[in-house]
């Protein structure tokens, strides 16, 4: 686990479309994540077009993201941020939910070749939630926003080719196979 936020990148003029999907459960913490992420996005991507979708709980985040990523290519965001807070209790329920969400978010990122920034936090208690959602040193909302420009710039050739739904222009065509000669043709007896 990181102990500090990544360095803030220089602001770019990139006009990225970003969608934040955040749960309403544990609202004090999730609202702080949304606010911190939104503020930081406007700093690192001043021309950002931001859409915020709220869902009841963390378990609903992946299905909402799938709906967003299933839009037509021109309406699809360049990246999605998943924000939520799951507090552990006395059973394994929180761990099961957290694991399921992680797997679903990774699958969506791979399926749509679109960055899905995963900040659905599985935490032990409210002290950890405060440190990661409200306080500034480890704020995961700010961290998510700082990661987006880096991720977009590193994936831009891949994601733009996929979003345009055009086949890649650098398609490899193998050379024609040479016909093997049999023993008679080669003069070997």
Active site members: 93
Which residues share a beta bridge with 54? 22
Helix or strand run (H / E) with residue 148? helix 140-163
Q: Crossing angle of helices 27-44/140-163, nearest 10°?
A: 60
Q: Which of 47, 83, 50 is nearest to 65 (CA)?
A: 83
CA distances from 114 to 80, 94, 102, 162 (A): 8, 27, 15, 9
The two structure tokens encoding residue 11: 């602001």
Q: Are 77 and 68 in contact (CB under 8 A)?
A: yes
The two structure tokens encoding residue 118: 């995963």
């Amino acid at each position: 686990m990181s102990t500090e936020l990544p360095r803030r990148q220089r602001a770019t003029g990139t006009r990225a479309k970003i969608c934040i999907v955040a749960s309403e459960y544990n609202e004090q913490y999730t609202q702080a994540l949304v606010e911190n992420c939104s503020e930081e996005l406007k700093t690192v991507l001043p021309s950002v077009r931001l859409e915020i979708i709220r869902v009841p709980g963390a378990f609903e985040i992946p299905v909402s993201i799938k709906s967003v990523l299933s839009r037509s290519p021109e309406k699809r965001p360049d990246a999605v941020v998943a924000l939520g807070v799951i507090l552990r209790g006395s059973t394994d329920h929180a761990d099961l939910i957290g694991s399921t969400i992680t797997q679903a978010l990774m699958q969506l990122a791979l399926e749509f070749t679109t960055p899905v920034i995963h900040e659905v936090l599985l935490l032990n208690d409210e002290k950890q939630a405060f440190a990661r959602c409200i306080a500034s040193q480890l704020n995961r909302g700010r961290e998510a926003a700082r990661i987006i420009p880096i991720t977009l710039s590193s994936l831009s050739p891949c994601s733009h080719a996929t979003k345009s739904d055009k086949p890649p222009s650098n398609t490899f065509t193998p050379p024609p196979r040479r016909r093997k000669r049999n023993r008679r043709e080669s003069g070997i007896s």
